[in-house]
Amino acid sequence: MIPTERRQPREIDGKGKTVRELLAGRKYSIDYYQREYKWQTKQVAELIDDLSAKFLESYEPGHERSAVAEYGHYFLGSIIVSDKDGRKFIIDGQQRLTTLTLLLIYLQHRLKDSEQRGQLAELIFSQKFGKHSFNLDIPERTDCMEALYSGKDFFAQDHPESIANIRGRYSDIDESFPEELRDLALPYFVDWLIESVHLVEITAYSDNDAYTIFETMNDRGLSLTPADMLKGYLLASVTDADDRVHAGKVWKERISALMDLGKDEDSDGIKSWLRSQYADTIRERKRGAAPGDFDLIGTEFHRWVRDHEDRLDLERSGDFVRFIDRDFAFYGHWYQRLRKAADTFTPGLEAVYFNAEHNFTLQYPVLLSPLQVQDSEDTVLRKVRVAATFLDILIHRRIWNWHAIDYSAMQYAMFIIMRDIRGKNTDELASHLHHRLDADSETFLTNPSFRLHGMNGRQIHRLLARMTDFIETRSGMPSHYVEYAKRGGKDGLEIEHIWADHAERHEDEFSHFGEFAEYRNRIGDLLLLPKSFNASYGDLPYEEKLAMYDSQNLLARSLHPNAYDHNPGFLRFIERSGLPFRPHPEFRKADLDARQELYVRLAEHIWNPARLEEEATTSGASGSSGNDF
């Protein structure tokens, strides 16, 4: 029977959905005119931090998984889609949906429970007639997504921007995912993510309607940001008209400079400033704990300032002018300088760059904490170098001892440090932070068998880049750290095993493959070399590769006797440092043991706490890069 009247589709439909409801059995596409996937490390790290923090507010180890149903909910925002004859095209929200899909793939790899893995698979792809297609159905991304889902390598060079970003952000998820969620808590987190994280799907049945909604939400109806609201509150408290105009001009100039750094950098700069100078409390990591200064500044700093006028000495009109004209201008300027040093390798501020390479965003409030508005530029640079060097040492000690360095794992410790070093002079700062490192029970010596494993490849790469660059610059050669730290691509370097993956060549020293494999992955067996070298020579016996090493970087060359002939800079470095460099005509187990000891001692040398006093006494922006530390 043919109906005499056909129901017209609704023009706009908005509905809240869980991650499961949004993705299970659904397909989303994007039109050709949509922009690329552009999220960077910062946005991914913030999403992981927000999700994990919300989950950990409710999580209690040991209870039944059914209790997850009572956990707090998290709102991930809205997406706008245009429904064209049953096909859904994303108008707004592809950045979040793409990142969410990458997170689901990552979690699917880590889960041990096959049933839960199957649940996630349904949210990632759907299967029809024996073929599967991704629920975020964008053909140009299929090969990359397939490689990630299958756990295979995918080289993103010579691909569109979206592909390179997808590959990079997947690696960022691996680095940012909190250690405390990786084991027993993981199944609980996955249940919570797919059942208690919500989005609003706004569906229009024509492109015109969809874009009208998009424009209204992002242009005409744009909400004030926390920075806007803080500005309004502060300027409204300035009674003199001329003072208000001046303070408004200073605010605008500083905010503009911060926004030039990137999205949300104005808010991030304000958070770092306020946390560094005023956060005295932090929420305890237990269920039901109240948020402290650190947490409230991170979520609603405009309200926090308004509620803490007494602590901020905001009483008269002039106090509000001072808060903008002196305090914000000073800390905003230095936050900007630090962020630029994090993005560009800057002489004297190398440690800021190194810390940023590990996505260590907590460094900014820590580096601002000891600064005082009356400090000269030279004093500020000394303090920054001391604090950044401390973090550099702490981070690498933790990596070497297989401890997490993600936001969740480090947040409380960094809060304590920034509170304790607030306003200290340079000598006090160096002494205090040196004492903290001396009190640390774990150094590079406490894990003499440090090795490569499935989760620390990027970290090992950076360690080897630092070691290689260190011995070269201390031998009088120019720095090539930025080139050495580059992974993948035509010009990138790869981790090279000195021993090829042939256990049969070492049967006289290893009776079990497992022991050989563990030894082969020790850092003493590793180098950084161009991809072309690995492809051409990596499988050869050591004796055949040795001559090739002589034409590579100095860490590789140090295996060959020629590195010790007519190389006065290298020989002077060895003499000054006392490091046990020596050539290895053959590379047996005893040679790898010697090389492992060399790398451990080299790490102790590079990340020596005595560097703090060196940085404290070196003037200008040059730092102590010329000495032997």
Residue 432 and residue 460 share a domain: no
623 lies in a domain?
A: no
CB under 8 Å to 118, separation ≥6 — which residues? none
From the number of C-beta atoms within 10 Å of its C-beta (0-12, 13-18, 19+), residue 183 rates as exposed
pLDDT at 155: 66
Backbone angles phi, psi at 126, to 5 degrees: -125, 155
d(CA 139, CA 5): 38
In-domain check, residue 413: yes
**Least-confidence region, from 183-187, 264-268, 330-334:** 183-187
| CB within 8 Å of 36: residues ≥ 6 apart | 160, 161, 162, 165
Q: Is residue 211 domain-shared with residue 265, that is, in the same domain?
A: no
Q: Which amino acid is at 595?
A: R
- Rounded to an integer, the average pLDDT of 279-283 is 95
Alpha helices (H) along 344-476? 350-357, 363-368, 377-400, 407-420, 426-438, 457-473
**Domain end marker among 396, 419, 444:** 444
Shared-domain flag, residues 176 and 156: yes
Same domain, yes or no: 466 and 587: yes
**Helix (H) or strand (E) run with residue 597 in it:** helix 589-606
- Does some domain include residue 52? yes
Say which range, 137-141, 302-306, 309-313, 519-523, has the weakest mean pLDDT: 137-141
Confidence of residue 32 (pLDDT cuts 50, 70, 90): low
Q: Domain for residue 625, yes or no?
A: no
Q: Are 469 and 560 contained in the same domain?
A: yes
> Residues 330, 399: one domain?
yes
Q: Does 143 share its domain with 270?
A: no
Q: How many structural domains is the chain composed of? A: 3
Q: Which of 385, 271, 408, 405 is nearest to 338 (CA)?
A: 385
* 170 and 274 part of one domain: no
Both 100 and 199 in a single domain? yes
The domain boundary residue, chosen from 390, 422, 444: 444
**Nearest 5°: CA angle at 233, between 232 and 238?**
95
Residue entry with tokens 């509000």: 320
In this structure, are 349 and 431 located in the same domain?
yes
Of the three residues 444, 459, 485, the one that is the final residue of a domain is: 444
Q: Is the pLDDT of residue 222 over 60?
A: no
Residue 16 lies in a domain: yes
In a domain, 172, yes or no: yes
Q: What is the mean pLDDT of residues 452-460?
A: 88
What pLDDT does residue 8 have? 45
Check whether residue 132 and residue 169 sit in a common domain. yes
Whether 502 contacts 168, CB under 8 Å: no
- Structural domain range at position 348: 226-444
174 and 264 both lie in a single domain: no
Q: Which of 176-185, 216-225, 488-497, 569-578 has the highest mean pLDDT?
A: 569-578
pLDDT value at residue 10: 55
Per residue in 600-617, pLDDT (tens digit) is 999 999 999 999 999 999
Has residue 7 been placed in a domain? Answer: no
pTM of the predicted structure, to 2 decimals: 0.83
CB 521 within 8 A of CB 494: no
Choose between 140 and 341: higher pLDDT: 341
Higher pLDDT, 580 or 286: 580
| Confidence at residue 157, expressed as pLDDT on a 0 to 100 scale | 61
Answer whether residue 283 is part of any domain: yes
